[in-house]
Structure 1
Amino acid sequence: MANSSWRKILANLRIGHLLLIVFLLAALIFLFATYSIRRNRAALLEVMSHQGESLIKALVLAAENIVASRALIDETVADELTDLALNLDSWYNSGSLTNAKLAQVARRSGYLRIDLLNQSGNVLLTSEPLPDLSIYLGQDKKLLAGIQEVLIGQADSAFLQLSPSSRLPDGGTLMIRKGKFKPVYLLILISARYLQEVERQTGIGYLVQKMGQEPGIEFVAMQAPEGIVFASKNVEELYKIETDPFLQEALAKKQTKSRIARFQGRKLLEVVRPFQSTQYPEGIFRIGLSLDSYNQTVKSFIRQTILVSVAIFLVGLLLVGLVIVNQNIRSLKEALQKTESLNLSILESMDSAVLAADAAGKITTFNQLAEKLFSLSRQSVIGENYSKVFPKDEWLISQILEKKSKIKDFEVRFKTLSGEEKILLVNSSGIFNQPGQLQGALAVIHDITELKRLEEESKRSERLSALGNLAAGVAHEVRNPLNAISIAAQRLKCEFKPTSSEEDYQNFLSNILSEIKRLDQIVNQFLSLARSQKLNLELTDSTAYLTEILSLVKVEAEAKGIRVQSRLSHSATLKIDRPEMKKALLNIILNGMEAMESGGTLTVETRPRTEAGVLEIFISDTGKGIPAEDITKIFQPYFSTKEKGSGLGLAIAHRIVIDHKGKLEVKSEVGKGTSFVIGLPIAVSN
């Protein structure tokens, strides 16, 4: 029934939803293609505009350079004429200059004529067939004033501009120069057309013509409000600046602008830029760029876009079919991933270490608490063989995989890589599938070290409480007889004198009084251990306080050959009962000194645990150490490893630290020494 319903759903998808998906896909592809084509057109046009702007900037820069170099061209022509005159003068002086040679030089250089005159103005040599000087005469039929000035010695050379006449229709430029070696005068006449040709080949007009012939450029023009100044050959007419707002705006704002315009019936990209110089009227350069390559590129892109769109549409149809076919698989995978993610979140949020292995013994699960407990990273153990990582099989995973059994809670003492001993509660069991086949094994490990410590503290507190009740009665019953004995002994010492052996008598009474005093001290210690006193707390600087205590034992330590060193760089303000805490610290320090019978080193060090708000005080000795079996007993009343020890010093120290809401721990290694760690709450961190 379920299969038939599922088939109906798939059938409905093919007929209804599939058509909708295909339609939406086609619409999206069409929109994408349209957008891509428009975007491509705009991008290509923008690129062309940038190219046109770069081109017209180069044109304007070249025009500015041409204007700047015009004076240089005039100077170059003058230098050329001067050099020729010097050469002719040298040839004449050597006797190698003839009329024929002058004609050849004039023809080759493109000059109108060259003449050689004497000081009287008579022709010595000429490039012309006839020695006719009428071209150099003014309206008064005399040689031009500039020529006469050189002939009579008022100047060595002169440049004259000749106006157009019947014999010189275009006008010209005349240079006259006195010879260097003999009193002869050289006249060189240049046609105005010659200078115009020089200017044409190097001027803005020539630049405009050359650029207009480049492929992809429809026209180039320089236009002023009065009309066209220069233009390429194919330009017959252009819109006037005064009738075109686009050109007016570009000229007014001194901006480079571009637009799509029409020229001789064809669309093109026109780029304009203002130009200003002293030799030409203010105007603008205009360049028309052909759109042929742009249109070809756009057409090619449209064809490619259509082909790609069709291909995408076909692939989309195929993908839609595949998506429908694989829909169930993906849904199952997503559900599995969610389950795995949920399981992982649960594992990571557990306050227990979780360790699992598959049937082959490969570790498959290792949560964050397991990483922290075993000081191993998940990446380093996942996939590794369990027996390789845990060869002792502390968690009985290997045993479960072999025997296919389930083991309930059991306790394990485990030593971490840092040397810290942990008490762990372990629950290990096999993992079975529905048919009952073993798939692996799982161990859930709880760290109950702190719980055990609290249980021990609770038991110790109960014992001390019971001891307190006993202490009150015992102290009362013991102190009354002690007081009576003490009074009697004092009276015997003061009121009675023996007739013989008086010294022995006095020593005997002193021993009685001394032992009574010692018994009274034991009773006081017993009461101090059993009953917590009301603490008189005050803020105390840890460094100054510990330094004061160490000064009390320094003399005794030196006498026993014990070196006392302090590392009190970490300071904090503690809220403590100074006399009570001094009693606890001195008990621990003196206990360490007594453990070093042959001398050694006593170290007192402070370390803050900021995250816990605790200052740890380490008191370490290099004595003989405490056996492992005695570590758990040393804080019990009347337990001592020393022959003359009362067994109350460390118990009292422990009670005082606990009263201050602190913690007292001991670490010891036989033959190397013992370290007591006192953790006290920090009132103010320094």
Structure 2
Amino acid sequence: MAQRLKPFSLFNTRLLLAILISLAIILAAFGYITTKVGQKATLVGLTQQGRALNRVLIASAANTIESDRQMTDIAVDRLLAEATTLFPNGGRRYRNDNDFLETLSAQLGLARAAIWSKDKRTQIALGLEQRALSDELDSLQNIFVEKTKLDQPFDIIYEIYIAQNKRFLFGVMPLDDKRFLFMVYPWEIGQYSNYRLSLSYLLNQLSREAGIEYILLQNLDGIVFASKQISQMTRIQDDPFLNSALSVDSALTRIVAFQDREVVEIVQKFDSGGEFKGLFRIGLSMYGYRELTANFKKQVWLMVAFLLIVTFAAFAMVGSYQNLKIARESLNRAQAISQSLHDSIAGVVISVDEHLKITTANSLARKYFGLPEGTPSGWDYNRYFADDIFKAKMVLNERRPLTFETTIYYQGLPIQLLVSANPIFDDKAKLSGVMIVAQDISARVESEKQSAHSRRLTELGSLAAGLAHDIRNPLNAIGMVIQRLRGEIKVESGQTEFNEFIDTLDSEQKKLNLLVEKILQVARSVNPHAELLEIKPLLEKIIELYKYEATARKIEIVSDIEPGKALLIKDSFQGMISNLIKNAIEAINQDGRIEIKSTFDNKAKRLVISIKDTGPGLSDDQKKNLFRPFYTTKPGGTGLGLATAHKAVVDHGGEIKVESKVGGPTTFIVTIPLKG
């Protein structure tokens, strides 16, 4: 018997060996492909992060350069105006030209000044600069003189030069019909007056983020701005790749060596509109990428060995898990970088300095409050806001932020604003002004009013229905008595008068019955018209109404909405979601997070919406009474918001439940069946 089993056992061994070898080859191929796919996916994720950062840098650089250009124009106009007021022909008297130059230099803080003839010869000069600067300023003055043309009418001709890491404005303006005033003015305007406003500060701050090796702005002349890690880089003219990046609008990517290690470099053209044309170059570290891929390779091959001992199915599951893990890590990293970039503020934006002079006003502020066009220059806040509707004076006095609601009128229509007024402090913690941001919440306020009105109608209907039913029972009894009186009672005299009396009673009883029926018809629920609506834009519109109030309270609203359609009663659905979001904001009050998520459970044919907040949570007793009308734990609350939301869910044929514990978090889960 044992001898007969040997050939069969040998066959099983060979077959098993063939299966194991085949499995090993399959697993090895699978492992190789998986590692390559993982490497590529990780590298693609890293590249996408760099491209997103590059786009933000280009937008920020453009804004910085444009702001600096505007501030330069304003400062030059101001310098021209101040200098003109000191001219001899402006009514001022001087002993001689030297006295004029000394007075002008002292008033304006000039480094040097001179009077030129029409042929640019110096008639008289005054030098106040430090001795160490003289030679350098002389060289720069020669360059400026060579470039300057005086044969055309002008108000001022100027150039900004750098001497010993300091910036100076070289300018010339007409003094009279035959002479010109030349001046050298220390330039500390715009990004040069405050390092935090400069492009180099932005680059250095971003370069400190994990995974960023370097950031630089480069043109054909060399490096313009660079993070502190950079001492020198390849010139554009010497690198074909950089040359090609100048000729395309999209970002280009490559892997290059940087300080004895490889980085992923993302390069994109930057053109500020004539003043600057060059490239933004961002180097992203490949250390994390290589560490991640190396670990991934090791894990895959260890898993292959393990799966040779166990089963191929186990390998497939673990391999899928590893792929999912890498995808999640890439996604989380991309989200972390994206969250480090902030959005611009929408709404009315006004800033004032410590003397209540308006320094900033956006187009919406000009539209609503009649502010003039042009750059604010000495605009008095009290002139345009005599009643101080934005409480700027209070913020300056109390040195603390304020958030409140107020109403303005534009073209005769009221506009409800949610105002956030915050004090501005300089780098020395000195109060320098107030930043005011006001968001139009009229739509949200109107929505809340409609919701409140709907609640009141519902309560009134319920009350009317109860009263009508209580009245109808006695009326029915009265009707029966009238019928018996009509059929059973006979009077000896005055029968006609008796019948008229009974008829009158019967008529009035019928009128009361008809009135009760009408009240019941009003109180009965009417099935509203349902529509097939897109969920994503509908929810996003509701969330947008509350986002600004949440931001003012330092509450973050995060949404994950799956696109799709559902059959909904629009007004009822909007009121229900509004009530739940408002309840979450009021529960948190300050500093928290709200997560709104909607999914379509196609298997169960239902729409699931969850609203989670980081508020203080609910006790078991609170959860039990939560949807009962008039139950509330909030001071001044009506206890109708969640009751109304519950009724709206019921009207949709769905259900609502709450998951919470004392200390939080709290999650409201709404399920609505998908009909049709």
Q: TM-score range by the shorter chain?
A: 0.3 to 0.5
TM-score, structure 1 normalization: 0.32
TM-score (norm 2): 0.33
Larger Cα-atom Rg: 1
